[in-house]
Amino acid sequence: MPRKGRGASLSPDPRYLETTREDFDDGWEADTEPPAPLRTTVKEERARSIIAHNDSPDIPFSASINPYRGCEHGCIYCYARPTHAYLDLSPGIDFESRLYAKTNAHELLRAELGRPGYRPQLIALGANTDPYQPIERQRMITRRIIEVLAGCGHPLGIVTKSALVERDIDLLAPMAERNLLYVFLSVTTLDHELARRMEPRATAPRRRVETVRRLSAAGIPVGVMFAPVIPALNDSDMERVLEAAAAAGARHAGYVMLRLPLEIKDLFRDWLDKHYPLKAGHVMRVIRDLREGRDNRADFGTRQTGTGQYAVLVQRRFRLACERLGLNSGDPRPTTALFTPPPVNRDQLPLF
């Protein structure tokens, strides 16, 4: 049965383990009581490096930072879930309940930016897991990262589902004045019930729209990500989300079609069967049409949008809505011209 406040209800074995477990029906009645609430645990991690690089042609940045491993928001569709297998943990329940905090992230970042020959480029926060998930309230790792980037005049992009980003307006607004920053709020639906099931510990959708309004009022360039588009589940909300975000001050928008790599396909199917059993078959049929008969395809150029008639229809709807609302009329990319390397050791006084 679904766990209250959690997205996944399964805990599949990590794919790199030598042994796996399999459910077995021994004939006794299954427990019909809902499982007990699961406590989130956080382990501190001393990372060895902090800036991750990618060479993907369909991602608009090549450098990113993830302050945390795992994400308490529990979004059932999260494409980062399979990364927990690298820790020999389950991409299901473990991903959203057994978290790792990179406590030395700001120290590693300062050292990296101070290396001879470092060339500044946009660094994305939120490329894998949300930098403003609930544990950031106490850990403040994301804030310390932003402090380092702001002090160096380094360009930054943020994607989040959390209103907690408002806490750092005192850092973000001055960066925005210098054209060093953009922020995107991910809003997948305005339906509170759907969001509660799909993203159980993320900020409520209407509250995210209010965050767009507050960031925009502070002079911060802000956009909205309608991601992922899930056929027959949230796709009808696209125009309403874009309209609400534009009315709140959003300048840019993007979307990504649902992807189901590795363990996510089984987690998502199980979630569909439990929460939307009457729609599950239709949703999966359209997804397979988008992916040329498979649950997932990872081809560059089409993995973000899908292929076929449904993909063309969504693309056309998105483009027409953006044109009508005046979204995406400018270039949100921050400048790299203001970068100044940090001192290697701020505690050591100059010799002369």
Q: Is residue 94 included in any domain, yes or no? A: yes
Task: Tell me how far apart the alpha carbons of residues 109 and 47 are, in angstroms, rounded to a whole number.
Answer: 11
Name the domain count of the chain.
1
Q: Is residue 17 included in any domain, yes or no? A: no
Q: Is residue 282 included in any domain, yes or no? A: yes
Q: What is the pLDDT of residues 165-179, one digit of tens each?
A: 999 999 999 999 999
Residue 6 phi/psi, 5-degree rounding, is: -125, 150
Structure tokens at 283: 């949703």
Range of the domain at 98: 43-325
Q: Is residue 152 included in any domain, yes or no? A: yes
Q: Is residue 331 included in any domain, yes or no? A: no
The CA-atom distances, in angstroms, between 81 and each of 92, 95, 214, 280, 298 are 7, 6, 31, 21, 16
Which pTM does this prediction carry?
0.90
Q: Is residue 338 included in any domain, yes or no? A: no
Nearest-CA neighbor of 79 among 133, 136, 126? 126
Q: Is residue 344 included in any domain, yes or no? A: no
Q: Is residue 32 included in any domain, yes or no? A: no
Q: What is the pLDDT of residues 318-328, one digit of tens each?
A: 999 999 999 99
Residue 337 phi/psi, 5-degree rounding, is: -75, -15
Strands (E) across the chain are located at 41-45, 52-53, 63-65, 68-69, 98-102, 123-125, 156-160, 181-186, 222-229, 252-257
Q: What is the pLDDT of residues 221-272, one digit of tens each?
A: 999 999 999 999 999 999 999 999 999 999 999 999 999 999 999 999 999 9
**CATH code: domain of residue 319:** 3.80.30.30
